[in-house]
RNA sequence: GGGGGCGUAGUGUAGUGGUUAACACGCCGGCCUGUCAAGCCGGAGAUCGCGGGUUCGAAUCCCGUCGCUCCCGCCA
């Protein structure tokens, strides 16, 4: 080893010891005959002192040293004088008196500040990701990520789970997200697909008798990006045999609870995790992934406002729509402009407008709607939403789904404005009892709302024949701080039910064989009852690290346009490579020069 | 596919039609033996993302384009 100690471990107890450190120059302070070098490695920073009067050779070398040079320093640990102690550093009570310095490698001035406080923009950070990753923030995040995966592996292994790798080169199934395709050299004109998740494979592992499987699995989806979505991402994927919903929920709840408590500095506020039905989540929060760190719940006021003279409301209710309300506490004196900003949010979500009633501190009302409401109806409305003086009532009238979208967006924005969100809190909740199907207007058929192997609740199976829209499933989602962090289900293992589901989603037996033959065959050879869940590891680590997007917890993420700015991927390839793969490029007729036809 | 924000020295920003494009950090040089975001003095560094247009004159206005980002669609 080129070092005897790390830059984070020396303390007063090491005083007098001869040590060798190696690392990067975090900062250098030159005082003529005395030079201070803050030497940094993965474990910390230690101050090195070079004294011209004691070690002229080392001092001469230190004069040439610059930021991010890679050094090896041999010297003696000495306790600092009391007035020279730096209480902000773990190693601040000691320093290393350098006797010999070796420049292991010089460094160009980096394009981004590694020790400084200026955050470079993402383009520069991505282009020089290896420098970005040198910064404390990224080191902390990636080390946390390692601790999380290690914890998960140990936790599951202790409970009898086996980690099994599944193929990255697999079969395209045109359900769900767009596949990333890989051309086959040996099979001209044919393609592999990168897995969107190991869903089918883990079910096959249950048929294979492993009973408890998990994998930290890379997944690929060729869809547009978001702050919490990358083209390749990582799932904690697991599946169990001979289990019921309750078993999976308890396992994951224990894992999450202990994981957060043991490896993060976040606080868990909701334990046990609250359980909401899908219907209840929409009713109370307007979304199936509510942030439950704060209240601001919605109230249905359709029946009350139907008795007003306000035609937008009465008309909406008559047409089968809903009018729902959200109370913004203490916002009665919001300016016209502030209310306008809230209205813009509602409109962005698809609402046609935003109705407001301000209940002033003195009890008087300020509302464009006042003239359409009798005193009684208005009083009933205020009572129903439990508004108190100083509050602002926000109402949206439209179809239930549009009302929910607009109000849940407003709810999140208000929480932000009113500072109701504690960033150190992680609040989980389970969402249960999803509908098994969603009606697809365009195709005039039912779509699975999760996937086609999700089991209906046993008590609902008779409804498959009579009222498919009313069938609730054994799907469960785990939500944390408004993010969906895990989702899974108990699967169908009964052939008759599976065929009914296929029929309802318009998949005839032939199609099903074509796409899932291997799985259907397998199910005929003794498939145990089974179920599982997949958790978004990137999102989970993001929340634990307190980061605003998953790029901050991925070593080499891609940009919104799915590019790697450091390596310049994707890139063109040699014609010979294409020829070998039997591939012809056929670009759209677009203006030349972009090189990015589709 | 659509909508919003951003793009000015290495980095972060200011500058919204008129001298030589400003400030901080960083960088280079000098001074300095107790600093730790060291300090003081001096210096270099920008075809204002790119292309076109309007104008006597464009970082600034207009059109196009590229890149980063947020959101909608999309993501079973």
Assess if residue A359 is contained within a domain.
yes
pLDDT of residue A588: 62
Is A124 near strand B, with its CB below 7 A from some atom of it?
Answer: yes
- Residue A462's contacts (CB-CB under 8 Å, 6 or more residues apart) are none
**How far apart, in Å, are the Cα atoms of A523 and each of A455, A516, A574?**
14, 11, 44
For residue A443, the SS3 value is coil
pLDDT of residue A151 exceeding 60, the answer is yes
Q: Mean of the pLDDT values across residues A281-295? A: 94
Sign of the dihedral through C-alpha A187, A188, A189, A191: positive
Q: In A34-135, which ranges are continuous DSSP H helix?
A: 56-64, 122-127, 129-132
pLDDT of residue A598 exceeding 50, the answer is no
pLDDT of residue A591: 39
Positions on chain B within 7 A of a protein C-beta? 1, 10-13, 24-28, 31-39, 65-76
For residue A403, the SS3 value is helix
pLDDT of residue A593: 37
Is A80 near strand B, with its CB below 7 A from some atom of it?
Answer: yes
Q: How far is the CA of A406 from the C1' of B68 (A)?
A: 29
Assess if residue A427 is contained within a domain.
no
Q: Mean of the pLDDT values across residues A97-121? A: 93
Is A560 near strand B, with its CB below 7 A from some atom of it?
Answer: yes
**Out of A23-27, A66-70, A237-241, A364-368, which region has the weakest mean confidence (pLDDT)?**
A364-368
Q: How confident is the model at residue A594 (pLDDT cuts 50, 70, 90)?
A: very low
Is A52 near strand B, with its CB below 7 A from some atom of it?
Answer: yes
pLDDT of residue A61 exceeding 90, the answer is yes
Domain boundary among A74, A105, A136: A105
CA atoms within a 13 Å half-sphere pointing along the CA-CB vector of A430: 22
Assess if residue A523 is contained within a domain.
no
Tens of pLDDT, residues A392-419 = 999 999 999 899 999 999 999 999 889 8
Q: How far is the CA of A82 from the C1' of B15 (A)?
A: 48
Domain boundary among A400, A420, A440: A420
Place of tokens 């995966």: A149
Is A37 near strand B, with its CB below 7 A from some atom of it?
Answer: no
Domain of residue A365 covers 294-420
Contact criterion met (CB below 8 Å) for A59 and A68: no
Assess if residue A567 is contained within a domain.
no
Nearest C-alpha neighbor of A245 from the set A530, A536, A534, A453: A530
Nearest C-alpha neighbor of A417 from the set A286, A531, A333, A328: A328
CATH number at residue A402: 3.30.1360.30
Tens of pLDDT, residues A484-496 = 999 999 999 988 8
Pairing of strands A322-328, A355-359: unpaired
Is A66 near strand B, with its CB below 7 A from some atom of it?
Answer: yes
Assess if residue A467 is contained within a domain.
no
- What does pLDDT average to over chain A? 93
Is A76 near strand B, with its CB below 7 A from some atom of it?
Answer: no
Is A95 near strand B, with its CB below 7 A from some atom of it?
Answer: yes
CATH number at residue A83: 2.40.50.140
Assess if residue A551 is contained within a domain.
no
Residue nearest B10, CA–C1′ metric: A111
d(CA A96, CA A581): 59
Is A319 near strand B, with its CB below 7 A from some atom of it?
Answer: no
Cα distance between the two ends of chain A: 51
Assess if residue A189 is contained within a domain.
no
Tens of pLDDT, residues A342-386 = 888 888 888 888 999 999 999 899 999 999 999 999 999 999 999
Is A181 near strand B, with its CB below 7 A from some atom of it?
Answer: no
Q: Count up the domains in chain A and report the number.
A: 2
Is A445 near strand B, with its CB below 7 A from some atom of it?
Answer: no
Assess if residue A299 is contained within a domain.
yes
Domain boundary among A105, A140, A160: A105
The CB density around residue A8, as the number of other CB atoms within 10 Å, is 16
Q: Mean of the pLDDT values across residues A146-168? A: 98
Q: How far is the CA of A552 from the C1' of B54 (A)?
A: 44
Contact criterion met (CB below 8 Å) for A504 and A446: yes
Q: In A 347-376, which Cβ lie closer than 7 Å to strand B?
A: 348
The CB density around residue A366, as the number of other CB atoms within 10 Å, is 14
């Amino acid at each position: 080893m080129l070092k005897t100690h790390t830059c984070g471990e020396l303390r007063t107890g090491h005083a007098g010891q001869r040590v060798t450190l190696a690392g990067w120059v975090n900062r250098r302070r030159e005082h003529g005959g005395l030079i201070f070098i803050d030497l940094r490695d993965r474990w910390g920073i230690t101050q090195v002192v070079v004294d011209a009067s004691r070690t002229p050779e080392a001092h001469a070398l230190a004069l040439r040293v610059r930021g991010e040079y890679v050094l090896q320093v041999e010297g003696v640990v000495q306790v600092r004088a009391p007035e020279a102690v730096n209480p902000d550093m773990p190693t601040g009570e000691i320093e290393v008196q350098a006797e010999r310095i070796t420049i292991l490698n010089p460094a160009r001035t980096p394009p981004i500040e590694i020790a400084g406080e200026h955050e470079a923009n993402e383009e520069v950070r991505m282009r020089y990701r290896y420098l970005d990753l040198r910064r404390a923030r990224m080191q902390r995040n990636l080390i946390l990520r390692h601790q999380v995966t290690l914890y998960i592996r140990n936790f599951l292994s202790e409970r009898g789970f086996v980690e099994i790798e599944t193929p990255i080169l697999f079969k395209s199934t045109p359900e769900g997200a767009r596949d990333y395709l890989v051309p086959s050299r040996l099979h001209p004109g044919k393609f592999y697909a990168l897995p969107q998740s190991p869903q089918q494979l883990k079910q096959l592992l249950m048929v294979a008798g492993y009973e408890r499987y998990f994998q930290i699995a890379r997944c690929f989806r060729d869809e547009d990006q978001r702050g919490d979505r990358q083209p390749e991402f990582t799932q904690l994927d697991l599946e169990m045999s001979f289990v019921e919903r309750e078993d999976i929920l308890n396992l994951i709840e224990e894992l999450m609870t202990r994981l957060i408590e043991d490896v993060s500095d976040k606080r868990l506020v909701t334990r046990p995790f609250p359980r909401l039905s899908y219907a209840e989540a929409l009713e109370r929060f307007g979304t199936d992934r509510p942030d439950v760190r704060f209240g601001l719940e919605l109230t249905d006021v359709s029946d009350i406002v139907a008795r007003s003279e306000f035609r937008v409301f009465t008309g909406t209710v008559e047409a089968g729509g809903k009018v729902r309300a959200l109370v913004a506490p203490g916002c009665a004196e919001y300016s016209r402009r502030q209310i306008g900003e809230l209205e813009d949010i509602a409109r962005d979500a698809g609402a046609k407008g935003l109705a407001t009633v301000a209940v002033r501190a003195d009890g008087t009302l300020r509302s464009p709607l006042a003239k359409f409401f009798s005193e009684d109806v208005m009083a009933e409305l205020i009572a129903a939403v439990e508004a108190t003086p100083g509050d602002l009532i926000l109402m949206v009238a439209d179809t239930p789904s549009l009302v929910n979208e607009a109000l849940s967006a407003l709810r999140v924005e208000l929480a932000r404005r009113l500072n109701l969100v504690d960033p150190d809190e992680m609040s989980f909740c389970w969402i249960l009892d999803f509908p098994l199907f969603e009606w697809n207007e365009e195709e005039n058929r039912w779509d699975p709302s999760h996937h086609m192997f999700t089991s209906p609740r046993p008590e609902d199976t008779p409804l498959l024949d009579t009222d498919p829209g009313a069938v609730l499933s054994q799907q469960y989602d785990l939500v944390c701080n408004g993010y969906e962090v895990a989702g899974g289900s108990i699967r169908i293992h009964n052939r008759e039910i599976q065929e009914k589901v296929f029929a309802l989603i318009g998949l005839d037996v032939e199609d099903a064989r074509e796409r899932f033959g291997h799985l259907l065959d397998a199910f005929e050879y003794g498939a145990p009852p089974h179920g599982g869940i997949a958790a978004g590891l990137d999102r989970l680590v993001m929340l634990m690290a307190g980061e605003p997007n998953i790029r901050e917890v991925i070593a080499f993420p891609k940009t919104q346009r799915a590019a790697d700015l450091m390596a310049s991927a994707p890139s063109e390839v040699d014609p010979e490579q294409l020829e070998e793969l039997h591939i012809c490029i056929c670009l759209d007729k677009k203006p030349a020069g972009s090189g990015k036809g589709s």
